[in-house]
């Protein structure tokens, strides 16, 4: 009996030692550097250069971190946004030719000018001149407006052809409309850089359809990126209770929400008893229970050679980053990283190959992950 | 004493009945929509979905950060306790059959639940079946049926 107890104890101790060695190995790979503190719910991150970073605060300001210092003064000229529920100043992306044209794109929720009870997702572009945003133009406005302050999407990415993809969430209470083409709920939108509609969008000639739609059947899409050669568009979206998805976005495809889903409603009710159907796309990965995926980057840097070609997905619950290893477009592994920092709102690759994290809090932080050398 | 136990039992059954009906209403509304977009909704799917929703909405405790109670019956219980309390007082002065009085009271409780919940959750209807006017009305009818059942049982105690 005593011998057996001793054996089991030794086994348990060995297991813990192995875990310790494993954890230490990973701790040695990287370290955290705090770039800025005291940001009010940092959301979107864009790099003017490696040492000059723009950060949207959900509460409505566009801030600048320069050489490791958060500037007191925020960018002026940013339109007012609606900070309520899940809404606020959110997505940010630079024009691919920003060096020359200085165009910056912002996605945010705003009150409907015609009815103060309603609100919508709006995308604008403006020219960044010093600390001012000028020449504001509306690029996209989701229609119809909604009563809820939830599920905006509000992420953007430029494709190699110069068009802009915008994620537009299902507004929570309008989920069935994600299956209809006459509205912008639960859609990936594709527009030209000036907001005009590309002629090769899939539904431009479909009667009654919104011509900006690129794909449909989505829920709350808070991550959209392209791979290094721009040939694949990855998108992730929040599921309800379970059913967060990682998808490959293709022109005109239906991703199924809410007709098929791996999640259930917050009340416990089935949203749909179906998980697949012909003509509706399957995710390349899904999570049950939910991790609340909040941001994504495709890592193509040189600072972490082992991570090259991986997707990094920030997760609000329980608060970590998932490194998704890919073989082509197939998910082969998932590694949980940076799980000591709290709710992580976004993860972005910096020009120098480091990763930058936005920590979601009233006193949020921007943290850079660099090799531990 | 036995009468009191019976009354508590009927109250418990009324809460269970309203919870079941509210759950089933959500299921049926979901399935009607799914059917409208040509999803293969069969009688078997209907039954298994109603069972699933009854178990998860009515019998399963919530997950953190919510307290470990079945959320739907807890909310309905609170509504019915308050509504039935007022009805019990009113019935001392007003001559109306108990089944109608408690039916109307429970319907009123559901009115508050379906209209007040969105105010607490940034305009969100946590019960998917409550998102349309028809859905709201049908949930109020579910409440009425539970109250009617309770009132009619009380009359026989």
Q: What is the pLDDT of residues A203-238, one digit of tens each?
A: 999 999 999 999 999 999 999 999 999 999 999 999
Residue A23 has pLDDT above 60, yes or no: no
Taken in order of first residue, the domains within chain A and their CATH numbers are 30-371 (2.120.10.30)
- Percent of chain B past pLDDT 90, that is, above it, reads 79
Per CB-CB distance under 8 Å, the chain A contacts of B123 are: 85, 147-150, 173
Element (H, E) at A257: none
Contact by Cβ (8 Å): A45, A92: yes
pLDDT the model gives residue B126 = 84
Per CB-CB distance under 8 Å, the chain B contacts of A172 are: 124
A285-307 pLDDT, tens per residue? 999 999 999 999 999 999 999 99
Q: Tell me what the mean pLDDT of segment B79-103 comes to.
A: 95
A267 touches chain B (CB under 8 A): yes
B68-90 pLDDT, tens per residue? 889 899 999 999 999 999 999 99
pLDDT the model gives residue A19 = 46
A111 touches chain B (CB under 8 A): no
The helix/strand/coil state of A175 is: helix
Nearest to A175 by CA among B128, B111, B6, B20: B128
A274 and B127 in contact by Cβ < 8 A?
A: no
- Name every residue in B having a CB less than 8 A away from some CB of A: 23, 26-27, 30, 33-34, 37, 39-40, 45, 48-49, 52-53, 56-57, 60, 63, 71-72, 122-128, 131
- Shortest distance, CA A170 to any CA of chain B (angstroms): 12
- Percent of chain A past pLDDT 90, that is, above it, reads 91
Instruction: Specify the residue for token string 């959209």.
Output: A224
A172 touches chain B (CB under 8 A): yes
Q: Which of A84, A176, A270 sits opposite B53 (nearest CB)?
A: A270
Per CB-CB distance under 8 Å, the chain A contacts of B48 are: 273
CA distance A75 to A71: 10
pLDDT the model gives residue B134 = 96
Annotated catalytic residue: which of A25, A26, A95, A151?
A151
Neighbours of A8 (CB within 10 A): 10
pLDDT the model gives residue A20 = 46
Per CB-CB distance under 8 Å, the chain A contacts of B127 are: 267, 269
Residue A246 has pLDDT above 90, yes or no: yes
Q: Which of A176, A266, A269 sits opposite B27 (nearest CB)?
A: A269
pLDDT the model gives residue A346 = 98
Mutate to test the interface with B, among A150, A270, A272, A277 (most CBs of B within 10 A): A270
A75-105 pLDDT, tens per residue? 999 999 999 999 999 999 999 999 999 999 9
Mutate to test the interface with B, among A152, A268, A280, A318 (most CBs of B within 10 A): A268
A302-340 pLDDT, tens per residue? 999 999 999 999 999 999 999 999 999 999 999 999 999
pLDDT the model gives residue A28 = 62
Question: Has A151 been annotated as catalytic?
Answer: yes
pLDDT the model gives residue B62 = 81
What is the model's pTM? 0.91
Q: Tell me what the mean pLDDT of segment A54-60 comes to.
A: 98
Q: Which of A2-16, A24-38, B51-65 has the lowest mean pLDDT?
A: A2-16
pLDDT the model gives residue A24 = 47
Q: Are strands A233-238 and A244-248 parallel, antiparallel or unpaired?
A: antiparallel
Confidence of residue B122 (pLDDT cuts 50, 70, 90): confident
Q: Which of A149, A270, A273 sits opposite B123 (nearest CB)?
A: A149
Closest chain B residue by Cα to residue A86: B122
Contact by Cβ (8 Å): B80, B14: yes
Q: Which residues lie across from A81 on neighbouring strands?
A: none
Mean pLDDT, chain A, integer: 94
Contacts for A220 with CB less than 8 Å, ≥ 6 apart: A150, A151, A152, A153, A169, A170, A172, A237, A238
pLDDT the model gives residue B15 = 97
A270 and B39 in contact by Cβ < 8 A?
A: no
B26 and A176 in contact by Cβ < 8 A?
A: no
Q: Which of A148, A179, A265 sits opposite B123 (nearest CB)?
A: A148
Contact by Cβ (8 Å): A232, A269: no
Mean pLDDT, chain B, integer: 93
Q: Which of A85, A259, A268 sits opposite B60 (nearest CB)?
A: A268
């Amino acid at each position: 009996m005593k011998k057996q107890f001793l054996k089991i104890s030794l086994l348990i101790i060995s297991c813990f030692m192995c875990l310790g060695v494993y954890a230490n190995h990973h701790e040695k790979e990287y370290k955290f550097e705090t770039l800025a503190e005291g940001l009010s719910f940092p959301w979107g991150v864009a790099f003017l250069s490696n040492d000059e970073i723009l950060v949207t605060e959900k509460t409505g300001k566009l801030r600048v971190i320069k050489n490791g210092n958060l500037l007191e003064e925020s960018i002026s000229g940013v339109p007012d946004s609606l900070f309520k529920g899940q809404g606020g100043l959110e997505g940010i992306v630079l024009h691919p030719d920003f060096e020359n044209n200085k165009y910056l794109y912002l996605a945010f929720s705003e009150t409907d000018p015609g009815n103060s009870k309603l609100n919508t997702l709006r995308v604008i572009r403006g020219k960044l001149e010093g600390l001012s945003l000028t020449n504001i133009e509306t690029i996209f406005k989701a229609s119809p407006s909604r009563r809820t302050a939830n599920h905006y999407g509000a992420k953007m990415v430029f494709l190699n052809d110069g068009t802009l993809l915008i994620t537009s969430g299902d507004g929570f209470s309008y989920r069935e409309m994600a299956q209809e083409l006459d509205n912008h709920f639960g859609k990936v939108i594709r527009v030209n850089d000036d907001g005009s509609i590309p002629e090769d969008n899939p539904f431009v000639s479909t009667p009654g359809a919104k011509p900006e739609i690129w794909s449909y059947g989505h829920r709350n899409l808070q991550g959209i990126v392209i791979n290094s050669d721009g040939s694949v568009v990855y998108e992730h979206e929040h599921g309800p209770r379970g059913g967060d998805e990682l998808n490959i976005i293709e022109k005109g495809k239906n991703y199924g929400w809410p007709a098929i889903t791996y999640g259930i409603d917050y009340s416990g009710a089935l949203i749909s008893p179906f998980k697949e159907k012909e003509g509706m796309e399957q995710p390349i990965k899904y999570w049950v229970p939910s991790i609340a995926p909040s941001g994504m980057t495709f890592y193509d840097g040189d600072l972490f050679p082992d991570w090259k070609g991986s997707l990094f997905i920030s997760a609000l619950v329980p608060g970590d980053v998932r490194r998704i290893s890919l073989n082509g477009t197939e998910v082969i592994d998932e590694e949980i990283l940076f799980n000591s920092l709290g709710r992580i709102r976004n993860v972005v690759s910096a020009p120098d190959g480091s990763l930058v994290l936005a920590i979601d809090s009233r006193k949020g932080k921007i943290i850079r992950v660099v090799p531990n050398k | 004493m036995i009468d009191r136990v019976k009354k508590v039992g009927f109250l418990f059954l009324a809460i269970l009945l309203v919870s079941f009906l509210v759950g089933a209403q959500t299921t049926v509304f979901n399935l009607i929509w799914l059917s409208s977009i040509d999803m293969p909704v069969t009688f078997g799917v209907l039954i298994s979905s109603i069972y699933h929703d009854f178990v998860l909405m009515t019998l399963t405790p919530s997950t953190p950060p919510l307290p470990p109670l079945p959320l739907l019956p807890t909310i309905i219980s609170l509504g019915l306790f308050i509504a039935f309390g007022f009805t019990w007082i009113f019935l001392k002065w007003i001559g109306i059959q108990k089944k109608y009085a408690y039916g109307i009271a429970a319907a009123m409780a559901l009115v508050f639940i379906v209209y007040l919940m969105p105010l607490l959750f940034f305009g969100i209807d946590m019960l998917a079946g409550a998102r349309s006017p028809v859905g709201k009305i049908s949930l109020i009818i579910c409440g009425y049926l539970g109250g009617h059942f309770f009132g009619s049982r009380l009359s026989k105690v």
